[in-house]
Copies of this chain bind each other. A is one copy, B any other.
Amino acid sequence: MAFEGQELVEQYIESYSNWGRWGEDDSIGTLNLVGPEEILAAVGTVRHGRTVNCTLPLDLKGPQRPQMLRDNPRTIKVATGTDHVSGAQDQLPAGLGPANGFGRSDDITILPNQAGTAWDGLAHIFWRGKMWNGKSAALVSSSGAAANGVEHYAGKMVFRGVLLDLPKALGVESLGEAQAITVEDLERAEEAGGVEVRKGDCIALRTGFMEARRGDWGDYVQGPAPGLSIYTIPWLYEREVAAIAADTWGLEVQPNEIQVFNPIHIVGLVHMGLALGEIFDFDELATVCDELGQYEFLFVSPVLPITGASGSATGSIAIL
């Protein structure tokens, strides 16, 4: 199992692993870095009373290439307004009697949990048989994740968000496919936004790649994409970042820089316990930040506490 880059991965794991740091039973990783102080600071960034949605619509027009890795979500109606107007609802269900004018629609969504804007859970990625905090990957069976399921993130995902708008900082419309984002790039984006990434923050990482592909997605998912370089790991660790959410399908540069798939997931998610989010829509947010001259905000992006799941769609909101 030797591969090019293996030494780097092993060295990063050795240096930056947080296994055990918050106790043997911890299942939220770097969200431990967000305490009352950080939340109060996050709340303190709100000056205008504006909210910005950062979640893509969930429907068949989404970015997934259907029936490959994941499908886009499909919503199916189990009761409709057409039923109501056609008389099919004149009796209430379950023997409740005549509807007397009342009608309803209802639906079910078949939701691949990471098809759109979503958080990875800490049971999403494994490395050599283990997941976050040293737990065995075998705990994640067809019955669900017996440890590190995304439900442990419930009530969390409240951060100071910091928009790092790479295209703005680098003077381009969008980063290029296969463009690796370096520490220098990140710091130029901090400077451009007049912000500094601090302990407990969530980085909102905008590459411009979503804007470039929106609505005509092509290989946006599973194709070459701009993204974080594996060499940013030490910086992310030292800054004590709690979470990173990106506007690409995988957050990392694709193709990866070394001969293993998604090494930031391996070092960051599996070993640092870092919360990773993907397919976030930061385009309107970039406009608003630019307009207000403010690149920090209260970022609330709750998971659905789906027991044993590997990830979760999220309604995400920046409050400025």
Contacts and interface: CB of A to CB of B under 8 A. Distances in A.
A99 interface: yes
Given A53-B305, A102-B261, A104-B125, 9 more contacts: A57-B305, A66-B71, A76-B142, A82-B86, A85-B86, A102-B126, A102-B266, A107-B144, A142-B142
A126 B105 contact: yes
A51 interface: yes
Given A110-B108, A305-B315, A99 B261 contact: yes
A172 interface: no
Given A101-B127, A124-B106, A302-B302, A78 B76 contact: yes
A97 B59 CA distance: 23
13 contacts: A53-B155, A57-B154, A60-B67, A78-B142, A81-B86, A82-B88, A82-B138, A99-B261, A102-B125, A109-B113, A157-B315, A300-B300, A300-B317
Interface stretch (A32-40, A163-171, A210-218): A32-40
Nearest to A155: B53
Interface stretch (A21-29, A227-235, A306-314): A306-314
Contacts of A158: 51, 300, 317, 319
Contact of A154 (B103, B301, B315): B315
A280 to B, nearest CB: 13
The quantity of this chain's copies bound in the complex is 4
Given A85-B129, A93-B69, A126-B81, A49 B39 contact: yes
A49 B40 contact: yes
Nearest to A156: B51
Interface string A114-144: 1000000001111111010000111111111
A58 B307 contact: yes
Nearest to A68: B94
A80 interface: yes
